[in-house]
A and B are shown apart, each in its own frame.
Chain A
Amino acid sequence: MSWLRRVWPVVAVMLATVALGYPVALLFGLPLARQRMNDLSNWTSQTVAAQPVARVPTTPSTLTFASAPASGVLVRDGAPLASPYRQDGDTVQLGAPLARPAVTLGAALRGPLDAAGLVYRLPAAADTGEPLYLNGTLLHAGAIQSHERADGRVTTFTFDAASGPVAVGDRVLIQGRDYRAKGDKVVFANPPDFNVDVRRITGDYAVLDAAKGIVALARPAGAAPRLGVDAVRLAERLAGAVNGSNRTFTLAHAPLVRTDPSRQVYLDGTALSSAPERPRERVDGQRARFTFASSRGLVTVDGQLMSPGTQYTRDGPVVTFTQPPRRNAEVRQYRDYLVSDVRAGTITLATPPKPGSVVWAANYTYYARPACGTTVMQCFASMPQHPVPFPNWIAARVVPYVSHYPITDQRNIVRGVLYTTAGTVSALLLGGAFGVLLAVLFVFLRPLEQALLPWVIASQTIPIIALVPVLLLILGNVGITVQTSLIPTALIGAYIAFFPVTVGTVTGLRSVDPLALDLMTSYAANPFQVFVKVRFPAAVPFLFTSLKLGTAAALVGALVAETESNNRRGLGYDIVGQVQAGNVSDLWILLLISAALGIGLVALVGLIQRFTAPWDRP
């Protein structure tokens, strides 16, 4: 029971330390996770598009849409419809019948082309943007990519969705024969080809190959889908007063993607451009007059909107600033509009629209949510490289890491540990022998000690480890590399380990009982006998204490030698590899392994002390 009383506090403190790992991990990780979450470039983007009618209307006065914007505009061919209408949720009541039908069903798709009855071909490849109707109902496009990239070898793929047919390239695979699905994981019988798209169809259909016009349905259909031609769409009306003076309008979804090639904003029937124009002249810090391509638009300097009249004056395409922009400033002109506030989703038009006109967006992309998750904790959990991982994550990596390479492989961690141990032990033997020899010389040759010992002590403050790269290069020049021998490791470790041994042994050899020395003198013992019978036994406890210090030093030396040398063996090399790969959990495992190795080697020295010098138990 006494051992329990000794061990239990140690276990308790260890457990407390492990528990402390969680708040520490959060302390270091949460700021990074928050940063990651706030960075818009890590967000998933989503596209808003004008909706085609969801069902081919049976009554000509009511149109139904799948998911309508709060305030919509009925458009056809890039212009709002002239006839009056009223939107009520997802339905639109027409005040007057349309001149042409809301949607005309065009040609049926050719197919099905495969056995499962899912793959069809569009009449022409250019039709991929047109809506598809099946039995008069609109089909929604939707497919997601796999997390993994097909490299020609991987057979297991993960998706964000757990159901839906799986398509590889322009083929839809058959479950059971070509693949087995288990939740969000899909295991293929044959690995997909290099770089081919592996997708899962989550909507009603997906365009598999836009160039060939190949689409795949999610479910087999009795009839072939048909193209909707000349369809009326419901687009988003931008919020903002149209009173002849207001120029700022707000989109329904934000934050916006600033340079979004798909964004299409219209003022009535004209498409507005947000492409920036550069001045013809160089911005050299002195010039104030700049010439642009078009003679109207919003002028910005370094992203700041300039106000006409006070900050610049315009004469056709020539803009004259009252203050010359600084050298290399970004001077831009936006002819129609610019995104003035990405976060709020606000755009500013160059000229205020006249009353009665409509500003609407046919298509645009916005950042829907952070890709890592909706809460900071989710982002923290999904971080690829944690500064400090949770202890259980480290624990979960232990078995895969240790068993990653078979024992026959040189990179196996057990072999790495053995290699480092061999280096450390040889360093310790070499350094210990040299240290003891030096100490004995010092004790017998007093002048030598007088001359050298102060420098030996002072040299402890020299960062000898700094010589490791030098020593390795020199040894490499002589033809001794770590690949072929343990010599560099042993030399470097010995170089570091011998100091404590020398200092400790000298102290020990001097710490002799003066009475014992007197006794030896009265026995007329020669110096050798005095050494063997009195001095050496007195020095042994000191020797072992300093050997323990030397062991830790030799291990550091061996590990540094391994990190600096370019061989592929040992713990030190593993550490460098994991640093470069950024596997923090594996680094922690290596830290624990090297700590255990250090503690074990020191304990081993203690054990040897117990057996060889039992007269002095520490």
Chain B
Amino acid sequence: MTGSLRSVLAGARRQRPTWPALAGLALALAGLFGPLSAGGPDTLARLGAWPLLVLLVAALLALDGRLGSSAALAPLALLGAYLSLLGQRALAGPGAWGYWTAFWGFVLASLAAFGRVSLTSLRADAPAFDKRLQRILPVAMVPLVVLLLWEGLVVGYRVPLGIFPRVSDIASALVTSWPVLLQDSYVTFVKEVLLGFAIGLATGYLAGVAVAGSRFLQRGFLPLATAFGAVPIVGLAPVLGRAFGVDWQSKAAVVVIVTFFPVVLNTVQGLTRVDPLQLELLHAYAATPRQVFAALRFPNSLPFVFNALKISVVVSIVSVIVAEFLIPGPPNGLGQRISLSAHRGAFDVVFAAIFVSSVISMILYGTIMAIERLTTSWHPSSRGS
């Protein structure tokens, strides 16, 4: 019992307090009693005990200095910054020195704790929890820091909504206009992206099979297909808009074309770049071309096709949004929403729509990765990681 206590104490003694974080917290403390805004008589102290309480806990964590405490300190300091500054709905004028000192103090403390966690070199026998912490915390912290800086700067400089929205504006726009955004996402992702994607994939794979079967087509088609990757959607979209009308069909056609060419290129590669030894073995077994396709060429092409899909899902989302900018039709779809809202200065809706579309596209990307892992788990490329 005493032995274990002694070892804990020794361990604690080995950990130095996080001095930069403490310095940041001290700054924040000074700032909390300074003026809030240049124009008004407010002081930050008016905010009450919460920021001070958070600051106190954060100071204790910084003094402790262990990896776990620093990991807790990083988000806590951000919370302190949020509580003390961004609870302000309306500053009377641009932020005064109290505002900025408290804000940057907290951010500095958070970054210091963050740096402590990610820069500490762990020994091989370090606890698994610490190792996981070191892996996850930096990734999780980046968006929080970015969002906080965004909000803090926009509030501090009193940037009007018509120029750049706050994070909280975007959040409330998400809440208030989610039915519209959901409907727009349905049009953009289900009708335009998914349909176009399915058609592009099917036709692209069939075309790839056809091209792979003929040397002439390989020579003639592949250079053109490669060159087509450089054709800007901006030129393509209006032409397709003429052919397919201004509704969702033309945007689905954009997705078809954007998907088609990478799929063709990668399918041809996958179908032709087979191991000659395996091919010879199948020949020795007197396999028919159909059997060669089913047993060797098709499985070999799958990783390539997934590679193409991962490229084209990203490109097709960008393309659909550009196409919706360029083919103004009925006001459905996220791209249209973005364009229309931007023109009337509703940037909170713009960013909310961008947020929704990136969440959905990340889900799409993740789905493709998951399917890839399920279907091509035998392939060396997925065995490696």
Contacts and interface: CB of A to CB of B under 8 A. Distances in A.
Given A13-B221, A14-B224, A455 B139 contact: yes
A564 B339 CA distance: 9
Contacts of A387: 242-244
Nearest to A564: B325
Contact of B232 (A5, A8, A474, A594): A594
Given A6-B219, A9-B216, A13-B221, A451 B138 contact: yes
Nearest to B365: A461
Given A9-B217, A10-B219, A463 B358 contact: yes
A578 interface: yes
Interface stretch (B55-63, B272-280, B342-350, B372-380): B342-350
- Which has the most chain A C-beta neighbours within 10 Å: B115, B141, B314, B335? B314
Contacts of B361: 461-463
Interface in A432-482: 447, 450-452, 454-455, 458-470, 473-474, 477
B135 interface: yes
20 contacts: A10-B223, A451-B118, A455-B142, A461-B314, A461-B361, A465-B318, A465-B322, A466-B335, A469-B342, A556-B232, A572-B234, A579-B326, A584-B239, A590-B235, A591-B231, A594-B232, A595-B227, A595-B228, A595-B232, A595-B235
B317 A602 contact: no
A468 B317 CA distance: 15
Contacts of B314: 460-461
A587 interface: yes
Interface of A: 5-6, 8-14, 17, 28, 385-388, 447, 450-452, 454-455, 458-470, 473-474, 477, 551-552, 555-556, 559-560, 563-564, 571-572, 575-576, 578-579, 584, 587-588, 590-591, 593-595, 598-599, 601-602
B143 interface: yes
Given A461-B362, A599-B231, A602-B230, 17 more contacts: A8-B220, A9-B221, A10-B223, A11-B220, A387-B242, A451-B138, A458-B362, A462-B358, A464-B318, A465-B322, A466-B321, A466-B357, A469-B338, A470-B347, A474-B164, A560-B322, A593-B235
B354 interface: yes
Contact of A13 (B139, B224, B326, B350): B224
B318 A470 contact: no
Contacts of B135: 450
A460 B365 CA distance: 10
A390 B157 CA distance: 57
Contacts of A458: 358, 362
B12 interface: no
Contact of B230 (A467, A551, A560): A551
Contacts of A462: 354, 357-358, 361
Interface string B323-363: 00110000000110011001101010011011001100110
B231 to A, nearest CB: 4
Contacts of A460: 314
A179 B335 CA distance: 55
Contacts of B219: 5-6, 9-10
A452 B318 contact: no
Contact of B238 (A10, A579, A598): A579
A192 to B, nearest CB: 35
B206 interface: no
Contacts of A10: 219-220, 223-224
A315 to B, nearest CB: 50
Contacts of A454: 139
A465 B321 contact: yes
Contacts of B31: none
A451 B139 contact: yes
Given A9-B220, A470-B347, A591 B230 contact: no
Given A13-B221, A387-B243, A466-B321, A477 B233 contact: no
Contacts of A447: 115, 118-119, 138
A463 B189 CA distance: 13
A591 B236 contact: yes
B318 A552 contact: no
B229 interface: yes
Contacts of A386: 242
A588 B240 CA distance: 10
A169 B351 CA distance: 61
B163 interface: yes
Please provide the 3 A-B residue pairs with the shortest distance between their CB atoms, ordered closest to farther: A9-B220, A598-B230, A451-B138
Interface in B226-285: 227-236, 238-239, 241-244
B241 A470 contact: no
A529 B252 CA distance: 51
Contacts of B115: 447
Contacts of B142: 451-452, 455
B234 A563 contact: yes
Contact of A591 (B138, B239, B347): B239
A71 to B, nearest CB: 48
A559 B358 contact: no
A470 B342 contact: yes
Given A552-B229, A601-B230, A560 B221 contact: no
A575 B220 contact: no
A601 B217 CA distance: 25
Contacts of A455: 139, 142-143
Given A450-B139, A466-B338, A575 B238 contact: yes
Nearest to A388: B243
B230 A469 contact: no
A467 B354 contact: yes
A598 B365 CA distance: 27
Contacts of A12: 216, 220
B339 A469 contact: yes
A14 B217 CA distance: 11
A555 B232 contact: yes
A443 to B, nearest CB: 16
B357 A463 contact: yes
B250 to A, nearest CB: 10
B342 A575 contact: no
A594 B347 CA distance: 31
B354 A563 contact: no
A559 B234 contact: yes
Contacts of B227: 595, 599, 602
Contacts of B322: 465, 556, 560
Contacts of B335: 463, 466
Given A460-B314, A463-B321, A595 B163 contact: no
Contacts of A556: 232-234, 318, 322
A464 B143 CA distance: 16
A488 B129 CA distance: 46
Given A385-B242, A388-B243, A598-B231, A463 B317 contact: yes
A236 B326 CA distance: 56
- Which has the most chain A C-beta neighbours within 10 Å: B242, B313, B314, B339? B242
Contacts of B317: 461, 463
A8 B217 CA distance: 11
Contacts of A14: 224
Nearest to A574: B235
Contacts of A591: 231, 235-236, 239
Contacts of A470: 164, 342, 347, 350-351
A599 B232 CA distance: 10
A575 B321 contact: no
A563 B339 CA distance: 12
Contacts of B221: 9, 13
A519 to B, nearest CB: 25
Contacts of B230: 551-552, 555, 595, 598-599, 601-602
A412 B339 CA distance: 28
Contacts of A8: 220
A555 B228 CA distance: 13
Contacts of B241: 579
Contacts of A464: 318
Contacts of B138: 447, 450-451
